[in-house]
Amino acid sequence: MVVRIDNLRKQFGEFVSVDDVSFEISSASITGLIGPNGAGKTTLFNTIAGFYPPTSGRVFLDDQEITALPPHRLFELGLLRTFQIAREFATMTVRENLMMVPGDQHGERIWNSWFSRARIAREEAVISTRADDVMDFLQLAHVADLPAGQLSGGQKKLLELGRTMMTDAKIVFLDEVGAGVNRTLLRRIGDAIIRLNREIGYTFCLIEHDMAFVERLCDPVICMAEGRILAQGSMQEVVNNDEVIQAYLGSRGGTTT
Amino acid sequence: MEAINALVLLGNYVIVPGIAYGSQLALAALGVSLIYGILRFSNFAHGDTMAFGAMVAVLLTSLAQSLGISIAPFPTAMLTLPFAIAGTVLLVIAFDFAVYRHFRSIRSSPVVFVIASTGVMFVMQGLIRFIVGPRDRDLGDGARFVVNAREFKAALGLEQGLSIKVSQSLTLGITIIAVLLLFWFLHRTRTGKAMRAFSDNEDLARLSGINPQTVVILAWTLSAALAATAGILYGLDKTFKPIIYFQLLLPTFAAAIVGGLGNPIGALAGGFVVAFSEICITYAFKRFLAYLLPENLEPTGLVQLLSTEYKFAISFFILVVVLLIRPTGIFAGRSS
């Protein structure tokens, strides 16, 4: 088990966005989070990743409580996330974007940038090599020196994924990594996720609407609706669950099943 | 000969003062721009931050003079510069902890920060008057001129003299050093890149493991250091009077906005645009034209577009024109 969520609840005023959610993410798994729009999936991610403090409930990473820690602390502990709408440092190049990531380097401390130039140069070289590997892996090498703002939507998604590969993360939360991406690129993103999972043992938790993509990658799958977990288990179990079918067809009155 | 006289005249009254004033505005605007880029609000207390830095220099200069410490021919104020910077940085960080940190923790909108900074401005003004009073103080000592107008005339046999004050050449030299250091820091060091990243996309920067508190403290430090330097150089060049720095706020913001708020190169260019506009528009070109035009065409009036009392109107005018025509500034900044 990498992450454990205990009775997590997030309210905005009267509106309950995440309602008493508990689940665990086991090590080296790819957990899929599905559910209709407005189910509270992204809010759940934001609450786990430290963007909003939860109203109640707790989050654990490797048995250490991480509830409401700020994002840069979670990063140091190995919890990373990407955004539904890809974000990038638009004026920096793709390589600079990737090299921005690794925290806890000596250059981060201002006095070191004056006094130990040689050590920083060595570290920069290591990071630069890693950035090259990541760009090769994601087939972004040909745009390495372009400003990230000029990338296509799909390439920005790859860059988001690449950023999580620059550091040794324990768990990566991917928010709709396939949204607005064409089929071919989506397949490439899927391949990259599977390889990272199988070869390096990355743990992922991802929100996705493309069911074929979820089916190919994820086990287990969790379905949320109206802030609550409706079902979890294998893809087959979840999609055959009556409540899940109802939630997706949008009828709570029970006229259709 | 006439043309050379005209050129020297222009150099003496427009170009040299313009470069000095432009450098001072550029340093001030860089500080405003940095805070805008990182903390995303317009810091109205910046003028009085400059005044505070200059005030520390005034006090320490008197102390040094009474102890007989001097670095003549340089003004003693240059010796006090590091201490003035340190004092100003401490004050500004204290204000961050006392005021702005609270508004960050409750995620207030930028307009709340602007109003808070106006409050800080009044507190700083009060503090400065409480410590040194509202009077003029002379900051300059040591040699006054690098190039003296009388000697220049005698040496070159011209009608017009060119004078370059020590304070003016110091202003240019220190501005060049400060700007080079700042750009080296922002573009070459990881911490500087982290600051640029934070300015570009705050959420992403935090997700990349950049500690927002470190970046904020660093932004205040750089901004206060630039403010104190600009304040002292302006005080050396003109005179130290607390209220003057408050009046500098408008040209400073005009400079930062003309160049594009949040963009350091823009702030630099904006400083010179505003300074030269102010000086050119309020300068009486009568004697300059008298040298260049045939005798019968010599102007009878002053050939001055605006009298000097209206110099602040020029900043306003530039500001309005830029906001109408190119609201993002010359070098599109973050204000877009």
A214: CATH: 3.40.50.300
Domains contained in chain B, CATH given: 2-325 (1.10.3470)
Q: Please indicate whether, in this complex, the C-beta atoms of A88 and B211 are within 8 angstroms of each other.
A: no
Q: What percent of chain B has pLDDT over 70?
A: 99
Is residue A157, in this structure, part of any structural domain at all? Answer: no
Structure confidence by residue, pLDDT tens digits, B137-187: 888 777 788 888 888 888 888 888 889 999 999 999 999 999 999 999 988
- Which residue in B187, B195, B207 has the most chain A C-beta atoms within 10 A of its own C-beta, making it the best mutation to test that interface? B207
Instruction: Kindly state whether B207 is in contact with chain A, defined as any CB-CB distance less than 8 angstroms.
Output: yes
Which domain range does residue A112 map to? 90-150
A27 with A78, same domain: the answer is: yes
pLDDT of residue A254: 43
Exposed/middle/buried for A172, CB within 10 Å: 0-12, 13-18, 19+? buried
pTM of the shown model: 0.82
Cis peptide before B73 (omega within 30 of 0): yes
Using a CB–CB cutoff of 8 Å, tell me whether B336 touches chain A.
no
Per-residue pLDDT of chain A (257 residues), as tens digits, is 789 999 999 998 889 899 999 999 999 999 999 988 888 899 999 999 888 889 999 999 998 999 888 888 888 888 988 887 778 888 889 998 888 877 554 444 555 555 666 777 777 888 888 899 889 888 888 998 999 888 888 888 888 888 888 888 889 999 888 777 888 888 888 888 898 898 888 899 999 888 889 999 998 999 998 889 988 898 888 888 888 888 776 654 444 43
Cβ <8 Å between B194 and A91 = no
Q: At residue B210, does pLDDT exceed 50?
A: yes
State residue A250's pLDDT score.
61
* ipTM tops 0.85: no
* DSSP letter string, B181-194: HHHHHHHHSHHHHH
Q: Does a structural domain hold residue A162?
A: no
- A99 in the same domain as A80: no
Phi, psi of A19 (to 5 degrees): -115, 95
Cross-sheet strand order for the sheet of A221-225: A79-81, A171-175, A203-207, A30-34, A221-225, A228-233
Q: Which of B208, B213, B220, B265 to mutate to test the interface with A (most CBs of A within 10 A)?
A: B208
Long-range contacts of B172-181 (CB under 8 A, 24+ apart): B172/B19, B172/B20, B172/B23, B174/B229, B174/B233, B175/B23, B175/B24, B175/B26, B175/B27, B175/B233, B178/B27, B178/B226, B178/B229, B179/B26, B179/B27, B179/B30, B179/B268
How close, in Å, is residue A65 to chain B by CA atoms? 19
B119 sits in which H/E element: helix B110-132
Mean pLDDT, to the nearest integer, of B92-107? 93
Mutation for A interface: B101, B190, B328, B336, most A CBs within 10 A: B190
What's the gap in Å between the CA of A72 and the closest CA on chain B? Answer: 4
Q: Is B200 on the interface with A (CB under 8 A)?
A: yes
Of A76, A92, A107, Cβ closest to residue B189: A107
Is residue A156 one of the residues assigned to a domain?
no
Last residue of a domain, one of A150, A180, A196: A150
Q: Which residues of A touch B205 (CB under 8 A)?
A: 89, 100
Whether residues B209 and A110 touch (CB distance < 8 A) is answered with no
| Residue A101 is assigned to a structural domain of this protein | yes
How many Å apart are CA B122 and CA B255, to the nearest integer?
Answer: 22
pLDDT given at position B334: 54
* Contact between chains at A100 and B194 (C-beta distance less than 8 A): yes
The C-alpha atoms of residue B248 and residue B46 are separated, in whole angstroms, by 9
**Interface touch B207/A92, C-beta < 8 Å:** no
Contact A103 B193 (CB under 8 A): no
- Please indicate, yes or no, whether residues A50 and A121 belong to a single structural domain of this protein: no
Distance of CA A25 to the CA centre of its chain: 13
Distance, in Å, from the CA atom of A147 to the CA atom of B179, rounded to the nearest integer, reads 24
Return the pLDDT at B196: 87
